[in-house]
Structures are given as structure tokens and as C-alpha cells.
Structure 1
Amino acid sequence: MFRRRGDAPFHRAPCGCCRVTGTNDKRTTIMPIIRVEMFSGRSEEQKRALVRDLTDAFVGAAGGNPDSVHVVITDVDKSNWGSGGQLCSDKFPD
């Protein structure tokens, strides 16, 4: 898990996303994190493709190592998402 030392968060165990930049075990996080919030209901295969495509697009546009790109997917029920003053479960019924 992450912990803070100074202003830079870092892992206790190196995973390739952090690097030691000086003395006293100070590390600088160099990993990009892509966060996706979307309605629940996508299959694991769709999520797998999304993670792959987002990683490829990020590396193509910004450079870097694909192994350092992290994608966090949060599934949200339509009843927990509002848009235009309405619950999405009312706007977009199944």
C-alpha cells in the first residue's frame, strides 16, 4: 500500500512504478493512473479490452512503459449516478 514520506507517495514493496531518487529511501511516483467511472454491466472481457486500449493509447500519446500505467475501473449503478437533475436509472431504464 501507499504511504507518505514528504510529499511523494510510494509503495513499501517496489513494483516497478517507483524509483529511488536520493537518500533516505525517498521515492518519486512515476506511474500514471487512469480512472474510469462507468455504469455497471460490462463483462470482464470488455473491461480487459478497455484496460488494454487505454494503456496503448496513453503510451502512444505520452510515452512511457505500459507496465507502469495503472487503470482503475469503478462500476457505478445507474441509481447512484445523476445527470441533468435526474437519476440515470430514470433517464436510461434497462
Structure 2
Amino acid sequence: MVTFMDQVPAQAKPFRMGLLPDKGAKFGCGTCHVNPAGGGPRSPFGQDYEKVGLKAGDKYTQDLGAVDSDKDGATNDQEFSAGTHPGDPASKPAR
């Protein structure tokens, strides 16, 4: 039997919240998904987590922290530190 694990898309997994800087405390599954309950389309941060975090062994990395996933002018690290949503451009740290 042949499996293609590298071709399986990421799925909503509650354990992944524990891998995030805020442990998913602020936005839960909505950190990575458009639907706050999880599943379905991913937010810009969720898309970047899939591209960067999963390829790095399913973890939040310095490279992922340095990205501005939602293009609001704040890196993902800055967003987590400020308690704002790294996947929502309307949610950004105060300047």
C-alpha cells in the first residue's frame, strides 16, 4: 500500500492551537480558519501556516513569525504579541 502523506491537505486540528504563540487562546480555530469553529477555508495566516509551518514539521517558526500574513503592516509575531489576529487585516496592533 502506498500513501502520499505529503499530499494530504492540512485539516483543522485542535492540537495545532498549542503550537501557536498564544496557544490559540484568543481566536481558537479561527486563528487559521475563516470559520471560527474551524474547518473549511483558511485565513491568510492559516494559508501561510500550511505553506511554512507544516513544511517545517508542523510548528510555528521564526520565518512564519516574520511574515505579515494578512498584509496589515504587522508581522505575525507582532500580532500575537499585541493580541490581534494575524489572519485578519482589520485586526492590527495599535500604532
- Shorter-chain TM-score: what band? under 0.3
Which of the pair has the greater relative contact order for Cα pairs under 8 Å at 6+ separation? 1
TM-score using structure 1 length: 0.23
Normalising by structure 2, report the TM-score: 0.23
More strand by share: 1
| Larger-Rg structure | 1
